[in-house]
Amino acid sequence: MSIQYILEIIGTFAFAISGALAVNDQKHSDWFSASFTAFISSIGGGTLRDVLLGSYPLVWISDINIIYAIIAGIITTFIFYRFLLRLRKTLFLFDTFGIALFTIVGTEKALQLGVRPEIAVIMGVFSATMGGVIRDMMTNEIPIIYRKEVYATACFAGACFYLLMDRLGAERITAFISASVVIIVIRLLAVRYGWSVPKFFR
């Protein structure tokens, strides 16, 4: 079992918890809504990446463990949600962990399929953020990438950092972990100090 695979499973589990907790604010937070939202949040970004790259079969269709990781995330949320919500930053931390893993997994997968580095970066950012974007589009929220100051931009920086490490000849595991840390650190500092992306229109 590759480390990429284990991290994809962990990222899926983290995103499922983040997705199931997200419907807490919704009026109709029944079992179906929570499960559906957890599912879309978890597989949306990677699915879009693979459909755009024409990479079939999709990961969650060929590998049932992805589905089981999502179900585990939903049940974990159901059992521990009071605990998870009381820790006010839990949702945020699970989401940050998820986007860091998915960005690098997505960038790597695109590179392995032979696309150019510029496209691999786009695929990394899409893998991490588009599950949340689709979730927000469905619940009529302004998508996360428009709301949060430094969100997708942190993924973009991490994906570029991964490519740089790769070019410099770093070992894969070193590149993977350091690029993930870059994303997590940027995101944490951005929220802590209120960093935002520069205005486009002056």
Positions touching a second copy (CB under 8 A) are 20, 23-24, 26, 28-34, 36, 47, 51-54, 56-58, 60-61, 64, 67, 78, 81, 115-116, 118-119, 133, 137-143, 145-147, 149, 152-153, 156, 196-201
Nearest distance, CB of residue 91 and a second copy, angstroms: 13
Nearest distance, CB of residue 29 and a second copy, angstroms: 5
Is 160 in a helix, a strand, or coil?
helix
| Cα separation, 50 vs 137, whole angstroms | 20
- In degrees and rounded to multiples of 5, residue 128 shows phi and psi of -80, -35
Closer CB to a second copy, 116 or 167, in the complex: 116
Any residues with CB less than 8 A from the CB of 86 and at least 6 apart, and which?
none
Closer CB to a second copy, 2 or 62, in the complex: 62
Residue 149 tokens, joined = 């100051």
| Cα separation, 49 vs 125, whole angstroms | 9
Q: Are 195 and 189 in contact (CB under 8 A)?
A: yes
Closer CB to a second copy, 50 or 176, in the complex: 50
Is the C-alpha dihedral spanning 149, 117, 41, 6 positive or negative?
Answer: negative
Q: Are 199 and 178 in contact (CB under 8 A)?
A: no
Q: Are 154 and 186 in contact (CB under 8 A)?
A: yes
Nearest distance, CB of residue 166 and a second copy, angstroms: 18
Nearest distance, CB of residue 198 and a second copy, angstroms: 5
Asked if the bond preceding 117 is cis, omega within 30° of 0, the reply is no
